[in-house]
A and B are shown apart, each in its own frame.
Chain A
């Protein structure tokens, strides 16, 4: 189990209703169903991932997140989760609004573009950074909206979204004293729990 998924699982209440946006192969939902008795659906657009979800018995719905969640009612889920997908969407602000319309709270994870290695890469090499968390070339990347922890928190503030929890870590989501001290510089990835 990926480390980020373990942390998320700890934040999800037993027997709650969960929507997992961009659920991939359904690993998280499967784990949550087995260990937390949650119910809900994964949303995914990738054909192979959808088949993988079905093969492991996770309920998955083919849906393009850029079109919003208008087919889900207000406050119909306890938690709406999105791991490592916010940066591929067209409108992060609208996505967060939708997640908190449908869910009581939301959990999101994303890579921090302000991590010192990215800063170093850009300032030293003068090229768009590439790393383990950002493995794509600038011209061929699904990550069309890269942003930083600071950007995200500023957006939350502007939208009146409360940050309920935050874990900052390296690629493997291991926390480090440097990342705790200066998260926007030393944190590679973060997991946020947000609400209204």
Chain B
């Protein structure tokens, strides 16, 4: 442990500390829903905690739209932000690394080390770009199952995820019902609404209409469709917050103390959105964004059963914890309740909590006393079963 200049120790006591991602290379072909096949592919993976002797204490973390393998801990001692779910993964936290072996990965199609559109296509020696196959949630789960095989994990103690991550959790319970004991689905949905697909389409159009997008071949031209990606992120970001939380954070505060009578930045919220968009465009690949939003849109396990979700859920063997947040309007509590009602009608084991929070969809990432209590109580039961 190192004492930093401001007196706090690094890493914090309840952190998994310094972590290092690893590449898992796969040479077995992965057949995708689209009909395409990936022959050589890799996943960027981070793990926290220790796998127990009978490999029964493993927890898989599934990430959302812009997430990746760096879910907890720090990559360096200085200036690095903790992983995206650090508030919920670590010693003494809901996903307690003293009891669980936690696996987090960057999904296929991602842009943080796993094979995706910005990887080189071995056939051409050029980046895949727009030729990278469109992926589904099911494809991701298949790839995660191969990762589980590689790690010697026959059955996950729990598969856990929020938002798009929650869809992967649900898919796991349907596709590999015997390979997980528990499913934790947070701020998610059994399918997107038309409004949700509409938001994704605006985001895609923002990217594809950027002249620098060049039909997805921007990498060869050594340019980035910055404006498109930034705009897509700005739209997305608005839908992740609630009217209340934006109001609390920015109100109508002005950037300077007067109106400029122009079309530049007047209000703090404009400046914030521009900053969010800009910083995102520097770290996130445009083609990956397109892929991720399509996977979201396509997800609908009830579709193969004439829209009957209850029937679709029949194979499920694991227990569920479903959590929603009161001000989430991107994946509102109604979406979670659709899943819960179908689970109860299918006589599956499920608990459901609707957390009162002002933070909109983003609430699933933010510390909250009740959310932590529910999550911890559930995961402690899981730990008791497998340790």
Contacts and interface: CB of A to CB of B under 8 A. Distances in A.
Interface in A72-92: 72-73, 76
B351 A59 contact: yes
B377 A62 contact: no
B337 A50 contact: no
B374 A50 contact: yes
A51 interface: yes
A74 to B, nearest CB: 12
Interface in A48-75: 50-55, 57, 59-63, 71-73
A59 B378 CA distance: 10
A17 B337 CA distance: 21
B381 A61 contact: no
Contacts of A76: 345
Given A47-B370, A61-B352, A62-B352, A55 B345 contact: no
Interface in B320-347: 321, 337, 340-341, 344-345, 347
Contacts, number: 49
A57 B352 CA distance: 13
Contact of A55 (B347, B353, B354, B381): B381
B381 A54 contact: yes
A143 to B, nearest CB: 24
Contacts of B349: 59
Nearest to A54: B377
A152 interface: no
A56 B230 CA distance: 46
A133 interface: no
B24 interface: no
B106 to A, nearest CB: 31
The majority secondary structure among interface residues of chain B is helix
Nearest to A63: B352
Contact of B351 (A39, A47, A53, A72): A53
A55 B380 contact: yes
Contacts of B202: none
B151 interface: no
Nearest to B350: A59
A71 B354 contact: no
- Best-buried of A52, A59, A63, A73 by chain B (most CB within 10 Å): A59
Contact of A54 (B344, B345, B347, B351): B351
B344 A51 contact: no
B18 interface: no
B351 A61 contact: yes
B373 interface: yes
B350 A54 contact: no
Contact-residue bracket for chain A: 20 to 34
Given A71-B337, A72-B344, A73-B345, A57 B381 contact: yes
A8 to B, nearest CB: 22
A51 B352 contact: no
A41 interface: yes
B377 to A, nearest CB: 4
B353 A62 contact: yes
Interface in B79-100: none
B320 to A, nearest CB: 9
Contact of B321 (A41, A47, A54, A72): A54
Nearest to B338: A71
A140 B340 CA distance: 34
Contact of A51 (B341, B345, B354, B373): B373
A71 B374 contact: no
A52 to B, nearest CB: 8
Contacts of B344: 41, 61, 71-72
Nearest to B369: A47
Interface in B16-52: none
Contacts of B373: 47, 51
Nearest to A50: B353
A46 B370 CA distance: 11
A51 B347 contact: no
Contacts of A62: 352-354
B381 A39 contact: no
B384 to A, nearest CB: 9
Nearest to A76: B345
Contacts of A55: 377, 380-381
Nearest to A72: B344
- Best-buried of A52, A61, A71, A72 by chain B (most CB within 10 Å): A61
Nearest to A64: B354
B73 to A, nearest CB: 27
B337 A54 contact: no
A52 B351 CA distance: 12
A178 to B, nearest CB: 43
A63 B377 CA distance: 19
B36 to A, nearest CB: 40
A54 B341 contact: no
Contacts of A50: 351, 353, 374
A50 B347 CA distance: 20
Contacts of A59: 319, 349-351
12 contacts: A41-B344, A47-B353, A50-B351, A53-B351, A55-B377, A55-B381, A59-B349, A59-B350, A59-B351, A71-B341, A72-B344, A72-B345
Given A47-B373, A62-B354, 11 more contacts: A47-B353, A47-B370, A52-B377, A54-B374, A59-B351, A60-B351, A60-B352, A61-B352, A62-B352, A71-B337, A73-B345
